[in-house]
Amino acid sequence: MTIERQKLVYDGPGGPFEGVAVRDTDAAGARPGVLVVPNILGAKDSDAEVAARLAALGYVALVADVYGQGKRARRGEPDVSRYMDPLNADRALLRDRLAASLAALKALSGVDGGRCAAIGYCFGGKAVIDMARAGLGVLGVVSFHGLYDRPDYPTQDRIAAKLLVCHGWDDPLARPEALVGLGQELTAAGADWQIHAYGHAGHAFTDRAVAKTDGGFGHDEPADRRSWRAATDFLAEVLG
């Protein structure tokens, strides 16, 4: 097994964009593709590490860039949300940038464009749920500690993509009532959905760079481990 990372520059509204494509170059034949949508900071090394774990499982992964080439935030900056905020305010633009990222994944050599999924973290967790809502052509999505507010554009009456939502029960950014609302929304849209809620875990429970606090933020090892196992089982079912 030889895991290779390669910078990928691609077009889209407001681009160019720069992602990272990761694959096992020893694997032969067309393989399923998985889009990795980052958190508030944008594409970074930890996202490429996630993509490498996916590549080791037999997928071709692309770390998406929805901010634009060279536009990245740093943890602790006072304006850390400066690239995210415009996309939260214009969810249709976020949708279109996600569509461009998915098209870039499907265009990679060795990718079976009919077997693609997306996973996302925090802001990216909200983004991949939007991909399902918008009918962007993925078979399934996995949201890790995402946010659940609906976009301001008309969404699909029937959601075809399957969804796995991995949620920290103590997340102060997504209270239990928001999670219940998401379940009601997905049920009304006829979606095949499942929610895994992890007790005593909060926002960013997969992020090892964030120490756990009493305020409902930070890495939680059991939730991190269990959610990854749930995600890999889900992807194997959806893309197998």
In the chain, the amino acid numbered 207 is D
What domain count does the chain have?
1
* pLDDT class of 227 with cuts at 50, 70, 90: very high
Task: Please state, rounded to an integer, the average pLDDT across all residues of the chain.
Answer: 97
Q: Which domain covers residue 135, as residue numbers?
A: 3-239
Give the per-residue pLDDT at 70: 95
Q: Is the pLDDT of residue 76 over 90?
A: no
The set of residues, in sequence order, having a beta carbon less than 8 Å from that of 165 and lying 6+ positions away, is 125, 129, 142, 143, 146, 179, 182, 193, 194, 195, 196
Q: Using one digit for the tens of pLDDT, what is the confidence trace for 95-134? A: 999 999 999 999 999 999 999 999 999 999 999 999 999 9
Q: Per-residue pLDDT for 66 more than 90?
A: yes
What distance in Å separates the CA atoms of residue 217 and residue 157, rounded to the nearest whole number?
A: 34
Residues 6+ apart with CB under 8 A from 62: 8, 19, 20, 21, 22, 33, 34, 35, 36, 51, 101, 104, 105, 108
The CATH number that applies at residue 184 is 3.40.50.1820
SS3 108: coil
In the chain, the percentage of residues whose pLDDT exceeds 70 is 100
Residue 46's pLDDT band, with cuts at 50, 70 and 90, is: very high
**pTM of the full structure:** 0.97
Instruction: Give the whole-angstrom CA distance, residue 220 versus residue 214.
Output: 12
